[in-house]
Chain A
Amino acid sequence: MIEATLVQAGIFISQTPPDAASGASALDRFVTYVARGLAQGSIYALIALGFVLVFKATQTVNFAQGAIALIGAYLVSLVLIDWEVPGRWLGGNRYVVWFSAIITAAIIAALLGLLIERLVIRPMIGEPLFSIAVITLGLEAILRTIGFDAVSINNRNLGIPWGATGFEIGGAFIYWTWVFCLAAVAFAFAGVYLFFRTRTGIAMRAVAFDQEAAMAQGINVGRVFAIAWGASAALALLAAVCASMTPFGGGTVTAGTVTLAFRALPAVILGGLDSIQGALIGGLAIGLAEVLAGAYLGKYTPTLGVGFQLIVPYAVMLLVLLVRPYGLFGTPEIRRV
C-alpha cells in the first residue's frame, strides 16, 4: 500500500532522467547522478537530523516524523497558496514570498511539535522508552490519516519559484532544486552546530548525556524536550518541501511523503542514533547509494525487481549493523547489571 502511493507520488525515481539519455559522456552522467544522489540524501539527512535531535533529548525514536512532514508540506501549501499569508503584504518578488511562506509554515509546524510534546510526550517522562516510541506510532496513525485526507482532496502545489529549471556544468545538468536541497541541509546542520554552542544547546547536550544529572544541575529538561520536538517538526517540514521538489522540480505534495521517515531510518541507523554528523553522512550516503544503484544497476531490473533501489538503503543498513551494532558514529551503550 505504501509502495503503491510511492508510485503515484512519482517518488519512485525513474531509471533514466531526461538529461541522461541525451548522449552526455559517462563522466557527465556520473556527476548528474551524484548531484541527484546528494539531493536525495539531503532529504534523508534532514529527516535523520530530526530523529537524532529527538533521540538525544528524549532517548526515543519519533516514528511520527514522516506524518509530521506530510502535515508540514500541507501547511506550506495552505500558507502559501490558500492564505497567501506573508505574500499578500509583501507582494512583488516571488522568491521573497516563497521563502517567507516557508518560514511561516515552519513556525506553525514547530508550534505543532511543541503541542505534541506537551500533550503526549511530557507525561511519559520516566516510562519505558518502548512505550514512548509506541506513542509516536499512535501519533503517526492519527497524523497520517488526517494528512492523507487533507492532501487527497486536490493536488496541493507548492509553487516552487524555480520550477524544473537548472544549469549545466560541463555536460552535466544540475537542477536548481538539487542546489536548494543541499543548501537547506547545509543551513540546517550549521544551525544545529551553532545551536549546540549556545546556552540552551549546551543544556540539551547535558540532557542527552545524563538526564538526571542535568536536572540536578538545574536544567529545565522539559524545555529541552520541547525545543527538540519543535526543531524536529520544523526540520520535517523542510525535508517534505525538499522531497516535493526532488528529483525534477515538480513541487506537488503527495501522500508518499509519509514514508519518507521510514526510508530515512537506514540513514539514522547507519550514522548512529545519537550522532549529528552521523545523520549528515548517513543521509547523504544512503541517498547516493539509492540513486547510484538505481542508475547503474538499472539494466538488472528484471532480476532485482522494480523499485529495488528503495530497498538498497535497508540492505546497506543490515550490512552495517552486522559489523557495527551502533552505527558508524553512534555511542555504544555501556551495559551494567
Chain B
Amino acid sequence: MWGRPNLYTSYRAETSIFPTWTQRVLVVLLVAVAVLLPFNLPIINQIPFVRFLGDGDWIRITTQAVVFAIAALGLNLLTGVAGQVSLGHAFFLGTGAYASVYLGGSPGSSTWGHELPMWIWLPGAGITAALIGILISPVAVRLRGLYLAIVTVGLVFIGIHLSRLFPEISGPAEVGRDFQGLEFRWWKEAEPAISFDDNGRWLWFDIGGNQKTYLFTLVLLIMFVLIAKNLVRSRTGRALQAIRDRDVAAEVMGVPEFKYKLIAFAISSFFAGIAGALFASFVGRLPPESWDLVLSVEFIAILLIGGVGTVAGTLMGTFFVVLLPRFVEEFAVWMGDQAAGDSLWASFWDIFVATGGDDRGIVSTQQLAPGFPLPFNALDAVLYGVLVIVFLLFEPLGLYGIWVKIRNYWKGWPFTY
C-alpha cells in the first residue's frame, strides 16, 4: 500500500518487524553504512560526519557503543517493555564477564580458567547471567516500582563484594585480571581459526584488529536487535507489555505475572551477560570495581535519553551516551586551541576554557586537574546528568521522540498535520 503507511491489510503485515518500505530502506542503508564504516572507502567518505567514527581510535569507542547497545537492549526489555526498573544491570554484566573468564580465560598461578573456545564461553556467559537472574527473581518479582530499584542497587554492591571475595576469578581488587581474547577456536588448538584481535587478511582485504572486533560485535548486535524486535511482537512480548501497563489487570486477563517477570529477568540478564563478556574481552583487563552503580545508572540514562521501550531509541541512546565523553574531550581541546592568541575570538573562548596555571574558565584542558575549573572528564559526567534531566523534563520520549516529531513533520509536509 504505497503512500498509506498506517493501512494494514493483514495481521502478518501489521506485526512484521519493519512494516513500511521506508523503514526497510532505512534499515538496509544503516546496516550498509555500519558495515562499511571502518573502511576507507570513497562511498563512506562522501557522507559527512560519519566516517570519523570508524577511523583511528574512534573505532574503539564505536565498538564499545555497539557492545553496550546489546546490554541496553536487554535492559530495555526489562525496564522499557516489562516495566521493571532495575538498577542492577551492571551486576549482570559483571556476572557474564566473570563467567566467561572462568570458562575461557587462561589459568595462572593465582587465577582460574579453562581456556575453552569462544563458542562455549560466549553463550556460557549469557546463560550463567540468566540463571543468576532467575535465582534472584523470587525476591525481585514480589517487589514493585521503587522498592525493586532500591533492591537492585543492593545487588550491585553485593556483586562487587563477591567478586573481591574470589580473586581467583576476578583478579586482585582494583587491578583485575586479563580476560580472554576474541578468538574463534574449534577446540583448544594453538592457532585460532579466526582471530578478531590482530591484524590480518580477510578475503581480499587487509583488515586491522580493531576493525575485525567492530565487525564481529556488529554482527552480534544485529542478531540481538532481531531477537529483541521479534520478542516484543510475540506472545511473550505482549504479556510483558500487559504487565507493564497494569500488572493486576494483566493477571486478571490470564497472564501469569510471576512466569513472565521471571522470563523478562532471565532474557535481560542473558543480554547483559553476553555484553559483559564481550566488553571484558574487548577491553582486556578490568578491575572488579568497574561493574558499579555508575555503570547501571549509565544504562538507565541510555534508555531515557534514547527513548524507553523502543529498540531504535535504545540504539540512538547508546551511541549518544557512549560517544558523549569523547566529544566533550575533543570540544575542550578545540576550545583550548581557539583560545590561543590575543584576538577577540580567542578571548571569547578563553572565558570558557582554562589552559592551565591561573587561567580561569568553566572547563580545564588538563585531565587530572582537581578543583575548579572542572577537568573535562568531570565536565562530561556533569553534562550527562544535565542531559538526563533535560530530556526527562522536555522530551520524555528521548531521541526517539525527536525522531518521531521530525518524521511526522515530513509525513504531512507541506501541511502542518
Q: A residues engaging B (CB < 8 A)? A: 1-4, 60-61, 120, 123-124, 127, 129-131, 133-135, 137-142, 144-146, 148-150, 152-153, 262, 265-266, 268-269, 273, 304-308, 310-311, 314-315, 317-318, 321-322, 325-326, 333, 335-337
Contacts and interface: CB of A to CB of B under 8 A. Distances in A.
Interface string B151-172: 1011001101110110000000
Contact of A262 (B147, B293, B386): B293
B164 A131 contact: no
Interface in B367-417: 370-372, 374-375, 378, 381-382, 384-389, 392-393, 396
Contacts of A4: 174, 289
Contacts of A131: 304, 392, 396
Contacts of B388: 134-135, 137-138, 141
A317 B378 CA distance: 33
B146 A145 contact: no
A333 B301 CA distance: 28
Nearest to A316: B154
B381 A145 contact: yes
Contacts of B297: 137, 140-141
Q: Say what secondary structure dominates the interface of chain B.
A: helix
A120 B370 contact: no
Contacts of A3: 160-161, 164, 289
Contacts of B85: 130, 133
A83 B248 CA distance: 57
Contacts of A273: 146-147
A3 B165 CA distance: 13
Interface residues of B, number: 53
A120 B389 contact: yes
26 contacts: A1-B292, A2-B289, A3-B161, A3-B164, A4-B289, A123-B393, A124-B392, A129-B146, A134-B304, A134-B388, A134-B392, A137-B300, A137-B388, A138-B301, A138-B384, A141-B297, A142-B385, A144-B381, A149-B375, A152-B370, A152-B371, A266-B154, A315-B158, A318-B151, A322-B139, A326-B147
B341 interface: no
Interface of B: 85, 138-139, 142-147, 149-151, 153-154, 157-158, 160-162, 164-165, 174, 246-249, 252, 289-290, 292-294, 297, 300-301, 304, 370-372, 374-375, 378, 381-382, 384-389, 392-393, 396
Contacts, number: 152
Given A131-B396, A146-B378, A304-B165, 17 more contacts: A1-B289, A2-B289, A2-B294, A3-B160, A61-B146, A124-B393, A130-B145, A134-B388, A135-B389, A142-B386, A150-B372, A262-B153, A265-B150, A269-B150, A305-B164, A314-B154, A322-B138
Contacts of B138: 322
A326 B142 CA distance: 10
Contacts of B144: 333
B386 A317 contact: no
A142 B382 CA distance: 4
B154 A133 contact: no
Nearest to B142: A325
A26 to B, nearest CB: 29
B203 to A, nearest CB: 43
A337 B154 CA distance: 30
Contact of B396 (A120, A127, A139, A140): A127
A306 B161 CA distance: 8
The 8 A-B pairs at the shortest CB distance, nearest first, are namely: A138-B388, A141-B385, A153-B371, A142-B385, A305-B165, A314-B154, A152-B370, A145-B381
Contact of B142 (A2, A152, A305, A321): A321
Contacts of A337: 246, 248-249, 252
Nearest to A144: B381
A141 B142 contact: no
A314 B158 contact: yes
A311 B158 contact: yes
Contacts of A153: 370-371
B371 A150 contact: yes
Contacts of A305: 161-162, 164-165
Contact of A133 (B146, B293, B371, B386): B146
Nearest to A326: B147
A325 B145 CA distance: 12
Contact of B146 (A1, A60, A322, A336): A60
A137 B147 CA distance: 15
Contacts of B375: 149
Contacts of B164: 3, 305-307
A336 B374 CA distance: 49
Contacts of B370: 149, 152-153
Nearest to B393: A123
A318 B151 CA distance: 7
B147 A321 contact: yes
Nearest to A335: B248
- Which of B142, B144, B147, B151 is the most central at the interface, judged by chain A CB atoms within 10 Å of its CB? B147
